Structure 1
Amino acid sequence: SLVGIVLLFIFIIIALFAPIIAPPLSDNPYQVPRMSWDVNPQPPGFPMSDDIREVYDFMGTEIKYDKAICGTAEGGYDIFYGLIWGTRTAFKIGLITVTVAGFIGVFIGSISAYFGGWIDEGLMRITDIFLSFPFLVAAMVLTTILGRGLDKVMIALIVFGWMGYARLIRGSILSAKEETYVMAAKALGVKDIKIIWKHLLPNTIFPVMVQGTMSIGSMVITAAALSFLGVGAPVGYADWGQMVSFARNWIIGAPGHAGQYWYTVLYPGIFIVLFVLAWNLIGDTLRDILDPRLRGEL
């Protein structure tokens, strides 16, 4: 738990102070600056090319740093800048998609479980239909239909990401709605919506919170996969999947120089692994805290 908290704290600091750590060189801070026009990646410490410097000087942009600390990817894109601002992208994708998908799933699952009957049957069959689609393939197809862009990626992840929350909260409410306090509230004439909101959800929402915490990393990996496949973030957007995509032709290295371009895939890969690991560790900790059976209370 301590490792997860420390890792997450580090990523939060990086995201908050991104404009200081990697000052933007354009009006769009999520556009990764190019240190050169060279197709081949360049090693860490590569200085900004004179022709690129002239372009920024012409635009009246103050250049606060002129070296690629982590090297450059294919096309001269600065890896360090992509990693720092990609942290904000990862938080944006993970938090927004999980929050919205969780809200939709909780709403559908709670209504289905509480009222039962044909409502439960209809909503669960719709859920089963969505579950029948492979998550990554369905998200890729929908993103392709909607068009390339980070907002389209998040829409696709939300559309095919709410079903697990719906099933989880449904199972919890099905067992909780037979409890005495729910029966008493019904006998007193409390409205159904109020019973769900004030009595059932506060006592059944904890498994959903645990799943949501652990799903943040999964959403970030899926978004990175979509960017790697070319249907996610636009070219040059500060996204970890985009940075890995730039390295696809250089992972093995040049003939006779295996691993020559190690930095193109190592740095973004480490950021993705540590970010997902942080959320998984925190999710495990949250489960241990909220589950009384694991605390030995039951």
Structure 2
Amino acid sequence: MSRGRRRTMSQNTIQGNEVWKRLRKNKMAILGLFITVGLIIVALLAPIIAPYDPYEVDLSRALKAPMEDGHILGTDQLGRDQFSRLLYGARISLRVGIITQAISLVIGIIMGALAGYYGGRVDDVISYLINIFFAFPSLLFAIAIMATLGPGLNNVFIALGAVSWPGLARIVRGQVLQLKEQEYIEAIRALGGNDLRIILKHIIPNCLAPVIVTATLGVAGAILSEAGLSFLGLGAQPPEPSWGLMLAMGRTYVTSKTWLTIYPGLAIMITILGLNLLGDGLRDALDPRLKQ
């Protein structure tokens, strides 16, 4: 391994340790980290933890109250165990958040990097496109896309990914505008470095701090949007144990069988809270100047 590469790795390790030290001092960020890690563990171990098959219908045990007949959180109108469905719902929420943000990251980083690096007409066209997306409420835009593509979880990925990239692209564009004027970029360009190498190796890696924060907060937004789309019947379809779909199916009994809506609502609230706390903590840890 070359000396320069070892030096880079050592610097990255030192920076990572500094970020972790700052993050540990933020108690709310650590709480968000525990909630997020807990969500991941629950999603991965749902088949092991769940006491019942979340898809099994048994009308003889419909609408059982919590702790009745061995059902920790009761059952729904089809006799399906609520606790098991909540656990499997974490898998859907996590999948939506990760895939949606992956799509958003790819589109946002590419568009933002091109706009910031090349400027001129390229920047004008991409900025105009970003402004068009910002002119519409993102959830309404996603509903319009879903109405065109049809309901279903796979189409949720496409719809939410297509409407969530403009904010990330704007952040990357601003970072690239600053970085491309740095002396080391000019030196690389003078030594014959091509644009693709400069963008991929020297500019985008230095944009990762705000990108990580935006992506973390974006996962929370994607989970909330998926719950909203599923509640409206445009997202996950029965019998999928989506939290939003569970809320929609339980609203008929909202005053009499409150556990059908309270527990999915709490699951959504706690998940969003954890991801937002973690995102805010990462923002302060990655760039302490923002806190000041």
1:238 positional shift: 1.4
The verdict on how the C-alpha distance between 1:178 and 1:292 changes in structure 2, with shifts beyond 3 A counting, is farther
The verdict on how the C-alpha distance between 1:71 and 1:295 changes in structure 2, with shifts beyond 3 A counting, is closer
1:295 positional shift: 7.5
| Number of matched pairs | 264
Question: Could you tell me whether the CA contact under 8 Å between 2:108 and 2:169 is conserved in 1?
Answer: yes
Instruction: Choose which of 9, 31, 56 in structure 2 pairs with 1:33.
Output: 56
Are 1:43 and 2:71 counterparts? Answer: no
Counterpart for residue 200 of structure 1: 203
1:292 positional shift: 4.1
1:35 positional shift: 3.4
Counterpart for residue 151 of structure 1: 154
Question: Could you tell me whether the CA contact under 8 Å between 2:103 and 2:162 is conserved in 1?
Answer: no
Question: Could you tell me whether the CA contact under 8 Å between 2:59 and 2:77 is conserved in 1?
Answer: no
How does 1:176-191 map onto structure 2 within 5 Å?
176-191=179-194
CA displacement 1:238-259 (0-9 Å, x = unmatched): 1111111111112123xxxxxx
Question: Could you tell me whether the CA contact under 8 Å between 1:114 and 1:173 is conserved in 2?
Answer: yes
Please, which runs of 5 or more residues in structure 2 have no aligned partner? 1-28
* Secondary structure class of the residue paired with 1:293: helix
Counterpart for residue 289 of structure 2: 293
The verdict on how the C-alpha distance between 1:137 and 1:23 changes in structure 2, with shifts beyond 3 A counting, is same
Are 1:110 and 2:113 counterparts? Answer: yes
Q: TM-score, structure 2 length as denominator?
A: 0.85
Counterpart for residue 141 of structure 1: 144
Higher helix share: 2
Q: Distance in 2 between matches of 1:221 and 1:33?
A: 26
CA displacement 1:273-294 (0-9 Å, x = unmatched): 1111111111111111110415
The verdict on how the C-alpha distance between 1:178 and 1:160 changes in structure 2, with shifts beyond 3 A counting, is same
Instruction: Choose which of 266, 270, 292 in structure 1 pairs with 2:266.
Output: 270
Q: Distance in 2 between matches of 1:42 and 1:144?
A: 35
Q: Which residue identity does 2:46 align to in structure 1?
A: A
Larger deviation, residues 208-217 vs 126-135: 126-135
* Secondary structure class of the residue paired with 1:17: helix
CA displacement 1:221-254 (0-9 Å, x = unmatched): 000000001111111201111111111112123x
Are 1:224 and 2:227 counterparts? Answer: yes
Q: Distance in 2 between matches of 1:76 and 1:94?
A: 29
Instruction: Choose which of 85, 89, 95 in structure 2 pairs with 1:86.
Output: 89
Q: Distance in 1 between matches of 2:158 and 2:60?
A: 34
Percent identity between the aligned chains?
Answer: 38
Counterpart for residue 127 of structure 1: 130
CA displacement 1:59-94 (0-9 Å, x = unmatched): xxxxxxxx4321122333321121000111111000
Please, which runs of 5 or more residues in structure 1 have no aligned partner? 26-30, 48-66, 254-260
1:24 positional shift: 6.3
1:37 positional shift: 6.2
1:9 positional shift: 2.1
